[in-house]
Amino acid sequence: MLNMSLGRVVCTMILLTTSIAALAVESESLSVTSPATSPVVSPTPSANAGYIYEKAFCGGNPCVDLTILGESFTFLINTCEYYTVAESEVINLLSSQPTEVEVKDFEGRAAKLSFYKPATMRLGGVKPLRSSYPIASQEVGGYKKHHGISGILGARDMMGLIWDIDYENQRLRVWKSFNESNESFDVRTSIQGVGLASKPLPSTQVTLAKHTFILELELLEPEDIQINHNFIKILEEASAIEIKGSRILGRFFENGYKSGAQYTMTEGKQDTTVGGYNYHNIFTVMAGYDQHIGRGFFSRQKRVVIDLKSNQLWIVPNPEFDNCLAESGTNDSD
């Protein structure tokens, strides 16, 4: 099994896009700045106070029910996954011959995946997503075994909608439109990277010890913040972090939850600022390839709204966890 996350394909984007162009049925553009050019859902009015879909979490993670070619499957969602990936029960429904594409895994290593022609995916069996992008064949390990998960809905198929992740009540709501001025969000910041060939995944700005990082939004990996190893020494010299040793972190494509790679762990010694809000003693992990805000951080917030229609990120923090250090030790497994 490949120990990897498809969200880590930045360095091979040109190769990947060229290799699977024949599989796509419409433009490959990721830009969502002009909603009129990228319809995502049917215009049917919602009867649910504005949101078009609602579902309880699956094993502590936001998930959706998708109908594909008349059959229903449960998928996790992840804005740090570029393409949608699926288990064999979904892939077997797709009649196309696969296209083999070389991608990078989460440690930057070359690996090959099989991509199949897209099929219409209906959210809750009703609302069609923009399903013009190829689907990759990939096992999802422990998520299938423990929660019946058949795949992971990637960022490209999530575009144009607002994903309202209520960690406090363990529920996901999906909106076509959302009036954030009626809500009380302490964290308000923009989502960057969408539509850029060099940084295609939804990302946001984070400041630590006067250093600014653009981090991808990772909903499944267990750490608080993962930073490229090149920056660890800079932050250590600035007394922003302290090396705390090594730990095995579970990767979500493993068979189960606790197997994974060994990382050098660091403890934040200065505040980390996200959208004008300060978090104390945030836990980071040294990495060698990608950079992201992980599930360890998001899951300790009350509510996280990822607006992929207007590219905004809103968060309701949980004051109990503003000092992240007390809870960091629980984030080493999925």
Q: What is the pLDDT at residue 171?
A: 98
Taking 60 as the threshold, does the pLDDT of residue 36 lie above it? no
Last residue of a domain, one of 103, 128, 161: 161
Q: Tell me whether residue 277 is in a domain.
A: yes
Q: Tell me whether residue 146 is in a domain.
A: yes
> Tens digits of per-residue pLDDT, 71-102?
999 999 999 988 899 999 999 998 788 999 88
pLDDT confidence bin for 170, thresholds 50/70/90: very high
User: Do 189 and 289 share a domain, yes or no?
Assistant: yes
Q: Tell me whether residue 1 is in a domain.
A: no
User: Do 118 and 204 share a domain, yes or no?
Assistant: no
Q: Tell me whether residue 151 is in a domain.
A: yes
User: Do 313 and 196 share a domain, yes or no?
Assistant: yes
Q: What are phi and psi of 245, to 5 degrees?
A: 105, -165
Last residue of a domain, one of 95, 129, 161: 161
User: Do 273 and 138 share a domain, yes or no?
Assistant: no
User: Do 150 and 216 share a domain, yes or no?
Assistant: no
Q: Tell me whether residue 317 is in a domain.
A: yes
User: Do 201 and 149 share a domain, yes or no?
Assistant: no
User: Do 77 and 118 share a domain, yes or no?
Assistant: yes
User: Do 14 and 76 share a domain, yes or no?
Assistant: yes
For residue 17, the enclosing domain spans: 10-28+51-161
**Which amino acid, 105?**
D
**Can you give the length of the chain in residues?**
334
Alpha-carbon gap, residue 215 to 204, rounded angstroms? 5
- The total number of structural domains in the chain stands at 2
> Tens digits of per-residue pLDDT, 222-263?
888 888 878 888 888 888 888 887 776 655 443 333 345 667
The enclosing domain of 117 has a CATH number of: 2.40.70.10
178 Rama sector, left if φ>0, alpha if ψ -120 to 50, beta otherwise: beta
Last residue of a domain, one of 161, 191, 223: 161
Tokens 């059959």 belong to residue: 71
User: Do 192 and 260 share a domain, yes or no?
Assistant: yes
Beta-bridge partners for 272: 208, 279
Indicate the pTM of the whole model: 0.80
